[in-house]
Homo-oligomer: A and B are copies of this chain.
Amino acid sequence: MIEIRLLEQLAAFAEYGTLSEAAEKLHTSQPTLTRSMKQLEDELGVPLFIRRKNHLTLSETGIRAAEYAKHVLVADRDFEAKVRAYDRSLHTISIGFCAPVPQTILTPMINNVFDGMTISADMSDDSLFEDKLRQGIYQLAVLHYKPESPEFFCKKIGNEQLYISLPSGNPLAFYPEVHLCDLNGLSILLLSRIGFWSNVHREKTPDSKYLLQVDESAFVELAENSEYPIFTSSYFIRAGQTMTGRIDVRIADPECSTDYYLVCLSSEQKKYKHLFELVHENTIS
């Protein structure tokens, strides 16, 4: 069997044209390559080079050989990558979250149930989550709608109602509830990684100026020391995380009240049985 080392060296020579340069790139000496290429020819029983006193060129067969060699090298690298990826997949659970609150609530629960596993959490709009579950990129996902396909196993895990937190001086603060269109055009403080909520805001309040904060502590500090409206939700209100001097007004648009669903592939349902048993209708509220 031809060793990978020889194929690497052949490929390098094909790429760089001279043994000297190839040797340099491979961090080895040039006589090493002379010997290796000779060995390769010996093992194949086929000449790969045109040898002049001073110069080495690939023969027609050599050119082909270098191309084929690349395939083998790709296969070899693939092997490494796949094995590592597979092992990793055994030790990590990848989860797609469509919103921050489910992540906050579920992450510790998942950590308990799958002790020793690494949890890799994505946060984004959930429009692609079904595909990512199918492809095995995610093992679990939290959607804000109930997936139709029978290939998914799914359980409702609660709901969230969006509020707008306004300084008590703000005229809107006196209404019992508002609509998103009332907020359109305002400058609003906003955290950046909020999943599908980004889409809701972009669509319903296209003219608002969002002051995006990547860092949560910066967001909190700005919120406390400014008059900017911020979004909050039933989850934070119920947890008593309200801000003094501000009034939380319910947003009446239907998009601002959503249910959450925990989803996995039906075929993997039993793997996650314990987790699904642990969550209930109102885990999030």
Q: In the complex, are the beta carbons of B80 and A2 less than 8 A apart?
A: yes
Interface of chain A residues 66 through 105 with chain B (CB within 8 A): 68-69, 71-73, 75-80, 82-84, 86-87, 90
* SS of A interface (majority): helix
Instruction: Tell me whether A275 is interfacial, beta carbon within 8 Å.
Output: no
Shortest CB-to-CB span from A227 to chain B, Å, is: 53
Q: Chain B: which residue is nearest A48 at the CB level?
A: B83
Instruction: Tell me whether A278 is interfacial, beta carbon within 8 Å.
Output: no
Residues in B whose Cβ lies below 8 Å from that of A237? none
Q: Chain B: which residue is nearest A62 at the CB level?
A: B83
| A82-B64 contact in complex given A2-B4, A4-B1, A4-B2, C-beta closer than 8 Å | yes
Instruction: Tell me whether A128 is interfacial, beta carbon within 8 Å.
Output: no
Instruction: Give the distance in Å from the alpha carbon of A19 to the alpha carbon of B11 in the complex.
Output: 34
Instruction: Give the distance in Å from the alpha carbon of A2 to the alpha carbon of B79 in the complex.
Output: 9
Contacts A1-B80, A71-B79, A72-B79 known; 9 new A-B pairs at CB < 8 A: A1-B5, A1-B76, A1-B77, A2-B4, A3-B3, A3-B4, A46-B87, A61-B90, A68-B79
Instruction: Give the distance in Å from the alpha carbon of A87 to the alpha carbon of B73 in the complex.
Output: 21
| A61-B86 contact in complex given A1-B5, A5-B3, C-beta closer than 8 Å | yes
Instruction: Give the distance in Å from the alpha carbon of A68 to the alpha carbon of B72 in the complex.
Output: 13
Residues in B whose Cβ lies below 8 Å from that of A150? none
Residues in B whose Cβ lies below 8 Å from that of A72? 72, 75-76, 78-79
Instruction: Tell me whether A186 is interfacial, beta carbon within 8 Å.
Output: no
Q: In the complex, are the beta carbons of B71 and A75 less than 8 A apart?
A: yes
Residues in B whose Cβ lies below 8 Å from that of A151? none
List 23 A-B residue pairs with CB atoms under 8 Å apart, sorted by A's residue number: A1-B5, A1-B73, A1-B76, A1-B77, A1-B80, A2-B76, A2-B80, A3-B4, A3-B5, A4-B4, A7-B79, A44-B80, A45-B84, A46-B83, A46-B87, A47-B87, A61-B83, A64-B82, A64-B83, A65-B83, A68-B79, A72-B72, A75-B76
Residues in B whose Cβ lies below 8 Å from that of A3? 3-5
Residues in B whose Cβ lies below 8 Å from that of A48? 83
